[in-house]
Structure 1
Amino acid sequence: MTSARSVTRSAPSTVHATSVSTATLTVQTSGCSFIDLTRDAANFVTDVHARDGTLTLFIRHTSASLTIQENADPSVLVDLTTVLARLAPDDADAGWTHDTEGPDDMPAHVKTMLTGTSLHVPVLNGKLALGTWQAIYLIEHRARPHRREVVLQFIGSSNQ
């Protein structure tokens, strides 16, 4: 059985990529948490005079990751943290063999594999094309604080 479908599409637009701008965002984490990078990404887009194109975010680590998630209700992030902990527990009973940097080392790698190291966000008319309740987060998977680097790169047209 199939359900009725209602889909519309805007007219396609074409942009000639005339601009590539790159910066590195350094984030000091305080341990396992979600850190909202939306404002930092939006400021970068503004600073490079982006008009239309794509913003890529890439984290240069294997035990922290990036995601786009809801920003309205903080309990969403609490539940996501709980789910990740269930999928890749930190305890010694989990049977991890890689523990070079401690018991949360291998679980952090698994959580990064599940959530990802890069994001692509369309930029339309100089603004991130995020939905109303979406935010860009760095997820720190390690228990202790770390210094994380996120490469920001805009490719597209600019107002310069």
Structure 2
Amino acid sequence: MRATFIVSCLLFLLAVAYWLGADQISVSRLAGGVGADGMPKLLAVALGVLSLAFATQTFFQMRAKKLAAPADPVKESDEPANWHQHARAMGLIVLGGFYILLLPHLGYMLSSMLMLGGVSFYAGLKPSLRMLAFAVIGGVVYYLIFTRILGIPLPSGFWPRLF
């Protein structure tokens, strides 16, 4: 429970940092009532509220457990440390880091395809034509949604210079 409390406090600090980062987004004169910083700030508030709620809940659970349990110096063993799940989560974070590093060089569409394929493989899907189709179609669909429908300029990578 102590680790859960610490992680939820760290998530709150991440929410504060995310808010501060969103606050650095430049304001456009063309923006309406909600600027480009609106959605990131909303996400920061959601993360902050949820992490505080989780920290508070964990704190009260720890306190209740401490009051109910006798003062026994033996270490608690009712909550097993499952480091395998933490390592898998860190693997997803590493995949996201590679995505961010590759995005400016390979472009949004190809990076998205690689990310979708990599996450599918990491989740246990065996390499197949089905997985390849999922990654390719997913990358194309995301590209069309964000660049064509929503009009968001995303990195194109080195491909335009080749043609």
Question: Fold match, TM over 0.5?
Answer: no
TM-score computed with the length of structure 1 as normaliser: 0.22
Tell which has more relative contact order, 1 or 2 (C-alpha 8 A, sep 6+): 1
Q: Which has the larger radius of gyration?
A: 2
